[in-house]
Structure 1
Amino acid sequence: MNWMGWTAAGMGLLVAAGVGLAAFGSSRWASATQVQMALLEAARLPAPAGRYDAREIAGLPAPVQRYFRAALKDGQPLIAAATFGLAGTINMSDSGGERWMPFTSTQRAVTHRPGFLWNGRVTMLPGIAAHVHDSYIAGVGRLHAAMLGLFTVAQVQGDGEIARGELMRYFAEMAWYPTALLPSAGVRWEAVDDHSAHATLVDGPIGLTLLFRFDEAGLIASVHADARGSGVGKDMVMLPWDCSVSDYHLHHGMMVPTRGTASKGGMPYFVGDLTSLVYEFNAQGE
């Protein structure tokens, strides 16, 4: 066998080893995902039964009233949980450059107690993927990324700014589970102007106030935070953070966005399109 034959055989062995390693890593990651999902479900609290009563929005700021009239119908079952798929691209550069990589993901969000688990798969090279958990569970924020699901490249967990940042993500994504934005679900609204309002959410010791902006149709266009923790190397810096949503469609009687984008410090880093959406409604509200 000449050198080309040996090279081809060697590459074949490397590819086979890589495939086997990737399969093993995916299996281990799936087990870890089940553990995190069990923690999310264990932290849930009994959700109040019932349906949306349009009378509860009386007295809210005008743009917020328009939003609920556009997004919900009277008698809408209240959402207890949402499971949705997203696919798109993530900018993996941490130096302000452009290094966009494709991803697919599933996410589970529960509304009582607020929490979510995002399970993403980012393709770094053909056949090589990073698996990512991003979550807020029982007041604890967590980010864990591992190449092939085996080799950890990033891991942070805790309360404080880590938890605040993850709860902020949950709050900004409520357009996908809009009954969680109702005053009866614990959100307090305050007027800013005719097209925006501040919304406040409290979970345990964490209180957040974000700026919601609404489009001409009355639907949520973007959510802004003056500062959200962002990892830069081994450090965390506070940067302005924006989440925009668009391309609304009717799902289970509610108007929800099918595209979401996020940016930090004015630099976009996430673009995702909805690929699936399943709701779990509160008891007696179905």
Structure 2
Amino acid sequence: MTKADEAYIRVAATPSPSPVRFDPAHVERLPEIVRRYFRRAIAPGTALHTSVQLEMTGRFLLGDKEDLQSYRMAARQVLRAPDQFVWLPKLRSGPISIVGSDALVAGEAWTRFWRMGLVPVAQERCSPDLVRSARFRAAIESSLWVPASLLPDSGVKWEQVGADEAQVTFERIDPAIVLRMTLDEEGAVKEVVGQRWSNANPDKVFRLQPFGGTILAVATFDGFTIPTGVAVGNHFGTDDYLAFFQARITGAVYG
């Protein structure tokens, strides 16, 4: 068993407090866009779990717009909001396969991938820069797939900044992570974007830069209505944007 497999099991098995159940009255005094979001995202009476195990398929693009390779993707992920995840994908393009993991567990982050299981493709060891970048990933994915983690009691501050836009701040993460979410009239998420600490740029230097994407489909699991079709990537909203992560959620189990 690999270190990543062991970490997956450990995060998935971490005991969670007994969840309370969602009552729309808990958000009735919040701004209109917050009420709209939670009415859509969480059915009344749903146990407010803040961890989920996901199954997904889709496409993963390696490279940039001028030189990229598209891989079929199948992956599983455990996500424990607000700051732990283990992502275990299998990528394939023709005869070429890539396996590995991307993770943030107990403050340790890593990115490790191998081509054909032997040749290193990415080997990023834990560092303050990588941890900060991984915390953003955990936060933005929590905003998509763990709706209960966005309740104010979870240390999240909401502000309505437009008719259909909300600013969501994860105040318990240091430094705080701020996301901009765009909703439709029913409260479903259409776009999400924030400033990620990343070295995905020509200079290969860590700095804040836009990261986000669009929602293509939704479905309901265990009382949570979540995005099931997503296309996200670096430099969202700029000419350099490339939706390198194109996923379809096929299963979600909360606990």
Change (3 A) 1:62 1:96: farther
CA deviation profile, 1:220-242 (whole Å, cap 9, x unmatched): 11211134403357823443211
For 2:25 and 2:177, how far apart are their aligned partners in 1? 26
CA change 1:231–1:157 in 2 (3 A) is: farther
Which residue number corresponds to residue 58 of structure 1?
28
Q: Which residue number corresponds to residue 186 of structure 1?
A: 155
Q: Report the equivalent of 1:125.
A: 94
Q: 2:185 aligns with which of 198, 201, 216?
A: 216
Q: What whole-Å deviation, never above 9, does each CA across 1:181-200 have from its counterpart, x for those lacking one? A: 11122211122112111111
Question: Partner residue of 2:227?
Answer: 257
Q: CA contact under 8 A between 2:221 and 2:253: conserved in structure 1?
A: no
Q: State, as a whole percentage, how many aligned pairs show the same letter.
A: 23
> Is 1:274 matched with 2:242?
no
Deviation at 1:48, TM superposition (A): 5.2
Higher Rg of the two aligned structures? 1
Q: Compared with structure 1, are the counterparts of its residues 96 and 198 closer, same or farther at alpha carbon in structure 2 (3 Å cutoff)?
A: farther
Consecutive unaligned residues in structure 2, runs of 5 or more: 236-240
1:34 aligns with 2:5: yes
> Residue by residue, what CA displacement relative to the aligned partner does 1:234-276 show, whole Å, maximum 9, x if unpaired?
8234432113223112222221121111121222211111122
Q: What displacement does 1:102 show?
A: 1.0
Secondary structure of the equivalent of 1:99?
Answer: strand
Which aligned pairs between 1:233-248 and structure 2 lie closer than 5 A? Answer: 235-238=204-207, 239-248=209-218
Q: In structure 1, give the amino acid aligned to 2:253.
A: V
Residues 250 and 256 in structure 1, CA contact (< 8 A), matched pair in contact too: yes
Matched, 1:200 2:169: yes
1:100-135, Cα deviation, whole Å (9 max, x unpaired): 111110001123x63111001111432x31113111
Q: Distance in 1 between matches of 2:15 and 2:157?
A: 20
From 106, 111, 115, the equivalent of 1:147 is 115
Q: 1:61 to 1:45 in 2, by over 3 A?
A: farther
What letter corresponds to residue 39 of structure 2 in structure 1?
A: R
Cα gap change, 1:45/1:190 in structure 2, threshold over 3 Å: closer, same or farther?
Answer: farther
Taking structure 1 as the reference length, the TM-score comes to 0.78
In the alignment of these two chains, the number of paired residues is: 248
Q: Given the alignment of the two structures, is residue 162 of structure 1 paired with residue 130 of structure 2, yes or no?
A: yes
- The C-alpha deviation readout for 1:153-184, integer Å capped at 9, x for no partner, is 21223353322222222222222221111112
User: More helix by proportion, 1 or 2?
Assistant: 1
